[in-house]
Structures are given as C-alpha cells and as structure tokens.
Amino acid sequence: MAILFAGHYKALDALSKTIMVVLVIATVSAVIVAASKGSVAPADFEAPSPWAIASIGFLVVMMGWMPAPIEISCLTSLWLKSQRKEQNVTAKSALFDFNVGYIGTALLAIVFLALGALVLNGNGTELKTSGIGFSHQLVGMYASTIGEWSRDLIAVIAFFCIFGSTITVIDGYSRAFSRSQFTYSEKRA
C-alpha cells in the first residue's frame, strides 16, 4: 500500500506481474501433475449437468464476470491516466497490457477449471462457502497435487493475489467514483 500511496505505479505493476507469473507457473504445474495422476473421480461417478435450472442462473452471472468484470476497462483507463504521470504510456503499450491481462485471465480461468475438475470433481469434497475455508481448500488442493513442500509458497502467493486484487478494487473504484463526481460537478457548474 505504501508503494501505491507514494505513486510508484511502475514498482507496483512489476510486483503484481511477478506475483501473477509465479501463480501461473504454480497453477500450470499443478494441472500437469494432476493430469499425470488422473482424475480422482470414481469410475461410476456421474457429474451433475450444468444445464439444470438451478445452474443456469450461476452460469449467466459467471459469464458477466469471466474472465473479468466489464468495468475493468474503465478501471484500467483511470489507472493508466495516473500511471502516465510517472512513465510513458502509449496507446499501443496500454492496449498490449490490457490484452495480455484479459487473455491471460481467461486462460488462467480455464487452467483453474481443469485443476478443479482433476482434483475436486467426484471426490466427495464439499466446497467451503466461507472465504477462509475456501482459501484453505485451495491451498490444500495445490499442496496435494504439487507436494506438501508447496503449501506455504502457495499460501503466500494466494494472499498476495487476493491482497493485490483488493488494492486494485479499492484504488480503481475510488478513482472511478472520484472521477464521476468531478465530471458531475463540472456539468452542474
């Protein structure tokens, strides 16, 4: 947070990208290891249909959030405007950064889905509904797949990803709210 408050967008950007690269490597590694072990589902397991009435609402909501919510483009634009104060941001570099993040998020979502299908689907484990419970399950999923040695590493990476997302949301929505109030005040004057 000190990095962000001091206005060092380049340092925060580099830190965020480093954390994401480590998460991607760990996730892809976990999927490869899980795929080599095979599915944990018993041979007679029949997966529930995603087309059940109860599932359709969930699918529709998720389509609006995958790979990222639609307002991410506004938050990215406001972030880039502030970032321009510290470094040269061209339209080409901004579009490249956005596309890499958006496409990367979509691909990572597919990899997470594969990991869940390989490790959780059909093993009888009920997903926790609390944030802390689910976090423990997520870290446990990595540890059971990659190896127990990875538990602490994945926990730290997951914390930084969640913490980074929190900073992004707080910063982004604050900028959006501030900008909307500024625009509204300009129009009234």
pLDDT band at residue 187, thresholds of 50, 70 and 90?
Answer: low
pTM for this model (two decimals): 0.67
pLDDT digits (tens, 9 = 90+) for 3-42: 667 766 677 777 777 877 887 888 888 888 888 887 666 7
Q: What is the DSSP letter of 40?
A: -
pLDDT of residue 67: 57
Give the pLDDT score at 146: 79
Return the top range by mean pLDDT from 34-43, 118-127, 136-145, 178-187: 136-145
With CA atoms as reference, report the closest residue to 154 among 131, 132, 138, 130. 138
DSSP H stretches of helix in the chain: 2-5, 9-37, 53-65, 72-83, 91-119, 131-146, 151-188
Lowest average pLDDT, out of 97-101, 110-114, 122-126, goes to: 122-126
Q: Answer with the residue of higher pLDDT: 25 or 58.
A: 25
Instruction: Say if residue 48 is preceded by a cis peptide, omega within 30 of 0.
Output: no
Residues 62-84 pLDDT 10s: 666 665 666 777 777 777 777 77
